[in-house]
Structure 1
Amino acid sequence: MSGATLRASGRASNEAASALAAAPPRPPLSIRGLRKRYGDTDVVAGIDLELRPGECFTLLGPNGAGKTTTLRCALGLTAPSAGEIRLAGLPVPERAREARMRVGIVPQQDSLDPDFTCSENLVVYGRYFGLDDATILARVPELLAFAGLEGKRDARIQQLSGGMKRRLTLARALVNRPELLILDEPTTGLDPQARHLIWERLKQLIRAGTTVLLTTHFMDEAERLADRLAILDAGRILTEGSPRDVIAKEIEPQVVEVYGDWNGRGHDGADGDAEAWAARHAAEFCRRHEVSGETAFCYVEDAAPLLAHLAAQSGLRYLHRPANLEDVFLKLTGRELRD
C-alpha cells in the first residue's frame, strides 16, 4: 500500500472518529406518540418524552393522570396501544427484557424479601442481572454505605425502619450500575429526615452522571431535584420545562393568600366569607384568583396595592409569597380531589 493511500486511510479514520465523538449522546429513554387505551379510555393519550443523559426528569400529575402507565409501557411491562419507545437505545417492547438490564427501578411499594438480610437482598437481586456473587459481594459495602446502612449488613428486613427500607430499595436498584434509574414516588410516607437523606443520595447519583426519571406528589421534591419536568393530566402533557421556566411560563410571579375571621367580619361587614371578599375585591387587585375553603388565593404581578388594601383591614390575615410549582400544578390540574 502506498504512502498516499495510508495517509488517505488515516484521514478517513480520523474523520470517522471525530464524527462519532461529535454525535449527540443517545437518550436513555425516548418516547414518541405513546398511547395506551383501556376500553374507550385513553389512559395515555399521545405522550412525547426524551430524557437527556445525566439529568433528573420528573413526571408530575394527580392520581390517574397516566404516570404509572407511562412508566410501565416504557419498561415493557404493559403493551402500548400505539407509539414508539426506545429504552437504553433498544426498542420496547420488542427488546424490553434486554433494555431493563440497564435500568434500576425503585417501585412505589417496597419489595424487599423479609426472609433475607440486607446484604442477601442485594446479592439475590444482583443475580437477576446475571452478575456473579463475587461481583455483587464486592459492591455490597459501597451500596450499604451509599444508603447509610453500613451497620445493617446482617440485619433482617423486619428490623429496619420505613426510611431504612426505602434507602435499601434505592441501593438495590443500583446493584447493576444502571444507565437509567426510575423512581416511582420514592419518598412517600417518609419522615423529613429520611426524605432529605434520600434527596442527597439522589443528587450524588445525578452529579455522577446517572439519569433519573422520578414521579412524585411532592412539589418541593420536584423543585429540588428536577432539571426538567412534565405535568400530566388525563394522559396528556400539559406543560414541560425546568421548574423555574414552568413557573415563569404558567403563572403570575406573586401570590397573596387571604384568610381570616370571616364569620366575625370585623374587617368589613359586607364580606361574609372568602367567596364574598373575592367577589368584591379580587378583580380590583388580582389578575386571577381562586377560592379554596376559607382562603382566597390572589395571583398578581405587583402585590403592593393589594397588600396596602389588606393592611387597612381589621380581622383579616394574609400571606405574601412567590409563586411555586404547587401553584402551577393546581392551576393546570384543578383543586378537586382525585381517587
Structure 2
Amino acid sequence: MSSSSRAIYHRRTHNLLLLQNLLSLREGSSPFTLVHDTIEQTAKPLISRYIHNAKSSKTNIILVSFEALKPPGEINAFINGRKKDPSALQAEILVSCSADKRILIIIDTLHPLVSHGNSTSIIHFLLPLIAQPGLKTSLVAVYHDDIPVHPTQSIPAYTSYLPSPAQALNHLATTILTIHPLPQHMSRHLASERSLPEPVFGLAESREGVLVGISPNHPMLKDHAGFVLEMEHRRKSGRGVNDTFVLPLDPTSKELQLLEDHPAFKSPSASKVDEGEDAGEDFGGVTFDLGLTEKQRREREGVVLPYFDAQKRGRGEIDAEEGERGDGGRILYQMGREDDFDEEEDEI
C-alpha cells in the first residue's frame, strides 16, 4: 500500500471511529453538539439515533421540547419549554439532572430561546448546562437554519454589533453537525459529472409556495435511503476535524460510511484504484513492477547524498550584504573507492 493510500485509509478509519464515538456519547467526546437542519431534512433521524445510543449505554435522557406535544417513550424526563422564562426553564433542567449518572440533554429547537434575547443571553442559558460542576452532561441542541430569528423589543440597540445567534452557537459548540437531504447531494453530483449548472433547492430557489420536506418515497431514496451529515469537531488542542458522511434513517443501523465511499458518489476510477490496492498494488494494469523490494529499500536508506555545509563566519568570500566572510553553500561529498576522481579535472 502506497503512502497516499495509507493516508486515505487512516483518515477513513479515524473519522468513522470519531463519528461513532460522538454518536455513542463517549465520555468527554463532545460536551455541546449543535445540529443544523432544515425543513427539507429534519434532525429527527439523528436525534432518534442519539436516544437509541443513550439507552444502550444506560444514560439518562432529558428532552426539552418546544415542538413535541407528547414525550417519546424512551426518555427519562420530559420538560415542556413552551411559554416559559429562560431562567425558570434552566432551573427546571438542572433540578432534573442527577449527579450519579451520565445525562444527555436534548433541546429540539433553540429558536424560542434565541427570540428572548441576543446572542449573549443564549450563551448564558447554555453554559450552566454544559459545564455544571459535579454533573456529567452532554448537550445536543437543534438549530433550524431556514427559520429567521426576529429581534424583540427587549433587545437593546448595541447588540447590533454582537455576532448573530447562529454565529455565537457555532463558536460555543465543540461539535457542529449539519444535515442535508441525500437526493439533493445526488442531484448536485450528477450535474457536476455532466458539467451542468448545479441545481438549487429550498429557499435558494426563490419560488413562491410552501416549502416541504423530502418524502420517504422519493425516487432517489428507493435504493439509497439515508441523509448526508457534515461533521466539524473541535478537539481540546484546537485542531478541527471535518468530513462528510452518509447515515441510514434507521437509528439502530450501524452502517456509517463516508460520502465518497457511497455507491452514488464513488467514481469508477476510485473503485479501480481500491481494487488495485486490494490486489497488491496492481498500479492500473502496468506490466512491470513499480515497487521496491525490502533489499532495495534498505540500500536506498543507506545512500549518503551531498549536502550543503553550514554558514561559517570569518572564512571564505566576503558577504556582499553584511560585509562579513563566510563560505556557506558548498556541496560536501565524501568519495568512495568506486568514484572516479581526477584532481586536475574535478574541483569541489
Q: Do they superpose with TM above 0.5?
A: no
Return the structure number with greater helix share: 1
TM-score (norm 2): 0.30
Largest Rg, 1 or 2: 2
Return the structure number with greater strand share: 1
Which of structures 1 and 2 has the larger relative contact order (alpha carbons within 8 angstroms, sep 6+)?
1
TM-score (norm 1): 0.31
